[in-house]
Structure 1
């Protein structure tokens, strides 16, 4: 094999999934997100330019397309200033029990739409805002402190477990002896063009605000 055809990351090449269609990749992505629940949202500090991550729980829309996510936020949060200055974000998910992971690169938009807030609101949201007992800031869907962050995905990479644990262990052990890259997961990508086409197909490729 010539030097030009040698893969510098043979494990990635072994596990790349190049056959699954866009619709199925999006469907499996949402199932994986639903099983993890919490991600780390990374933004850039408006003052220092340093990256900062915090745990947040996404709200998945009913329409499983096209890898876009909603988050509840406090309108007084510092991260809103960060997103105004630089809307580029990364969402990182990890499931320790299976070593599955997701990385979503996208742009965030601040949305103050009371109708959408009511649509996505669930009772657990109140626990994160509390009731100030002033008749206004009660942690309910009309609480003015509650806003939304919409993350429009630009690209998505994720690793999906597609072989059983015993097979994973066997493949890794065999690789230690033979040097053969082990098959342990399906490494998938949703490209920017795939997501744009999915939005057009679903009729959701329109501005939010």
Structure 2
């Protein structure tokens, strides 16, 4: 069982890294807010990092309530991961420089921009859905509909990370 759990944990990390973008869900008072973010998945650090702009509300929301959710989705390949955990906002300039890539230039001119912050997400648990892909899933669903059985369209696991 421990082997299966370890394999499931690793698969959750692999899927997060492969998908690369997440909807970051924060608390804004009684409401939930989600926005797409480029994820820097660092399995060795057991963390997911994001670059954020201090002028946006998500940093304030995280400071008020650090419990957040990340939702990764690759609908074309039928792979999904939902991860719950805590986030922290920092002004770690070395980490900002490390994470700053060409795609970050769409938002900031350089890593020296004083408005850039790092969000560090530490996961507690994850749930993933890992299907063999859209075409195979549709074929299995059609076959199940014809035979009156339930389709086996992949793996769904919950793991503590």
TM-score by length of 1: 0.68
> Do the aligned partners of 2:5 and 2:159 also contact (CA within 8 Å) in 1?
no
Instruction: Tell me the distance in 2 between the aligned counterparts of 1:125 and 1:50.
Output: 28
Match for residue 52 of structure 2 among 60, 63, 73? 73
Instruction: Tell me the distance in 1 between the aligned counterparts of 2:87 and 2:27.
Output: 12
Instruction: Tell me the distance in 1 between the aligned counterparts of 2:63 and 2:129.
Output: 31
Q: Aligned pair in 2 of structure 1 residues 169, 81: CA closer, same or farther (>3 Å)?
A: closer
Instruction: Tell me the distance in 1 between the aligned counterparts of 2:139 and 2:59.
Output: 47
RMSD, aligned α-carbons: 2.4
Q: Aligned pair in 2 of structure 1 residues 181, 62: CA closer, same or farther (>3 Å)?
A: closer
Equivalent residue, structure 2, for 1:185: 154
Match for residue 118 of structure 1 among 77, 84, 97? 97
Alpha-carbon deviation of 1:161?
2.2
Q: Does 1:143 align with 2:113?
A: yes
Q: Does 1:58 align with 2:39?
A: yes
- Which segments of structure 1 move beyond 4 Å, counting only runs of 4 or more? none
TM-score by length of 2: 0.86
Alpha-carbon deviation of 1:163?
7.2
Alpha-carbon deviation of 1:164?
8.4
Equivalent residue, structure 2, for 1:39: 22
> Do the aligned partners of 1:91 and 1:103 also contact (CA within 8 Å) in 2?
yes
Question: Could you list the runs of 5+ residues in structure 2 that have no partner in the other structure?
Answer: none
> Do the aligned partners of 2:24 and 2:71 also contact (CA within 8 Å) in 1?
yes
Q: Does 1:102 align with 2:81?
A: yes
**Structure with the higher fraction of residues in strand conformation:** 2
Q: How many equivalent residue pairs?
A: 161
Query: Secondary structure in 2 aligned to 1:60?
Result: strand
Q: Aligned pair in 2 of structure 1 residues 163, 39: CA closer, same or farther (>3 Å)?
A: closer
Query: Secondary structure in 1 aligned to 2:41?
Result: coil
Q: Aligned pair in 2 of structure 1 residues 62, 50: CA closer, same or farther (>3 Å)?
A: closer
